[in-house]
């Protein structure tokens, strides 16, 4: 997906989140993040946006701790979030294509990484704000949702830190019915290895290592990309997608797929 599409997604979701947060109220609980209230959600995102801005605007090549600077009290917190969001969009839009800076997931370029990561960070937390309001979730374009699925299962769960592991080798397939995207996760005692883009008989490993024959799987999750996106981020229940095969593998995902809050 093009970097400009990610930046436009950030531009779109920021106001939706701010509006939902403002209407819900700062003390409203966030049911999709049970330990948080809306003020915690806004504070987290304001910190993440300012952290990301530094990499993009300053070209920092070494990791720095996530900002812990607290936002203002009361309703000014919403405007503080809006200000950080506007600055993030501006920094990404102004960054040169050959931006060099630190990243933590594989990407075609550092600019692509930061635009993509912040687009999905904001999209998922926009859902959290709408959940706090008790509102329907604004839908995602199918290709954007599929891109978010790819980021979590190929990106985050391709890292050595992934906890999605099994004692014996198992396979979990994710099939987006509206985009025809398919991913097959090979689970074992090691970090998952994902095959993406299965055709009639073969797929290509996510790391580009070569073709892999299509294989039978132990469990498959299927549904539209938007539903799968939110199920895989544990924002919707498994009942919102189809589960075929060994459902215990889907349950394992729910329990083991949480990722650290790196932004």
Digits of tens for pLDDT over the chain (263 positions)?
Answer: 899 999 999 999 999 999 999 999 999 999 999 999 999 999 999 999 999 999 999 999 999 998 777 788 888 999 999 999 999 999 999 999 999 999 999 999 999 999 999 999 999 999 999 999 999 999 999 999 999 999 999 999 999 999 999 999 999 999 999 998 999 999 999 999 999 876 444 555 555 554 444 668 999 999 999 999 999 999 999 999 999 999 999 999 888 888 754 44
Same domain, 21 and 125: yes
In whole angstroms, give the CA distance from residue 56 to residue 159. Answer: 23
Q: How many domains does the structure of the chain reveal?
A: 2
What is the predicted pLDDT for the residue at 15?
98
Strand order in the sheet with 211-213: 211-213, 202-205, 193-196, 182-187, 170-176, 219-223, 242-245
Q: What is the pLDDT of residue 71?
A: 85
At residue 208, the pLDDT reads: 55
Among the three residues 98, 133, 168, which one is the final residue of a domain in this structure? 133
Of 133, 163, 178, the last residue of a domain is 133
Q: Are residues 148 and 251 in the same domain?
A: yes
Spatial distance between the Cα atoms of 164 and 45, rounded to a whole number of angstroms? 26
Specify which residues 185 forms β-bridges with. 172, 194
- Give the other-Cβ count within 10 Å of 211's Cβ: 12
pLDDT attached to residue 70: 79
Write down the pLDDT at residue 69. Answer: 77
Whether residues 115 and 173 share a domain: the answer is no
3-class DSSP state of 182: strand
What is the structure's pLDDT at 261?
A: 46
How far lies 134's CA from each of 12, 20, 29, 148, 229, in Å? 20, 9, 10, 23, 19
Q: Please state, in angstroms and rounded to a whole number, the distance separating the CA atoms of residues 123 and 1.
A: 15
169 and 124 in one domain?
Answer: no
At a CB cut-off of 8 Å and minimum separation 6, what does 143 contact?
1, 179, 225
- CA dist., res. 44 & res. 41, Å (int): 5
The torsion angles phi and psi of 13, rounded to 5 degrees, stand at: -80, -25
Of 85, 107, 133, which one is at a domain's C-terminal end? 133
Q: Are residues 53 and 158 in the same domain?
A: no
Query: According to the model, what pLDDT value does residue 257 have?
Result: 86
Residue 261 maps to a domain: no
């Amino acid at each position: 997906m093009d970097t400009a599409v990610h930046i436009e997604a950030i531009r779109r979701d920021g106001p939706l989140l701010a509006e939902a947060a403002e209407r819900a109220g700062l003390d409203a609980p966030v049911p999709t993040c049970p330990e948080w209230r809306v003020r915690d959600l806004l504070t987290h995102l304001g910190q993440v946006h300012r952290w990301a801005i530094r990499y993009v605007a300053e070209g920092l090549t070494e990791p720095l701790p996530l900002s812990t600077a607290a936002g203002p009290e009361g309703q000014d917190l919403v405007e503080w979030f809006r200000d950080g969001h506007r600055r993030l969009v501006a920094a990404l839009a102004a960054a040169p294509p050959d931006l060099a800076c630190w990243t933590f997931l594989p990407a075609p370029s550092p600019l692509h990484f930061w635009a993509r990561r912040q687009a999905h960070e904001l999209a998922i937390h926009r859902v959290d704000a709408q959940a706090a309001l008790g509102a329907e979730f604004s839908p995602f374009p199918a290709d954007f949702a599929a891109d978010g699925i790819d980021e979590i299962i190929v990106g985050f769960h391709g890292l050595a830190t992934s906890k999605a592991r099994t004692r014996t080798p198992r396979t979990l397939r994710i099939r987006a019915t509206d985009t025809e995207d398919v991913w097959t996760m090979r689970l074992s005692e090691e970090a998952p290895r994902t095959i993406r883009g299965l055709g009639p008989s073969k797929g290509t490993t996510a790391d580009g290592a070569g073709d892999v024959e299509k294989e039978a799987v132990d469990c498959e999750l299927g549904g539209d990309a938007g539903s799968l996106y939110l199920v895989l981020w544990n924002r919707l229940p498994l009942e919102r997608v189809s589960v075929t095969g060994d459902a215990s593998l889907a349950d394992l995902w729910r329990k083991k797929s949480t990722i650290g809050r790196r932004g």
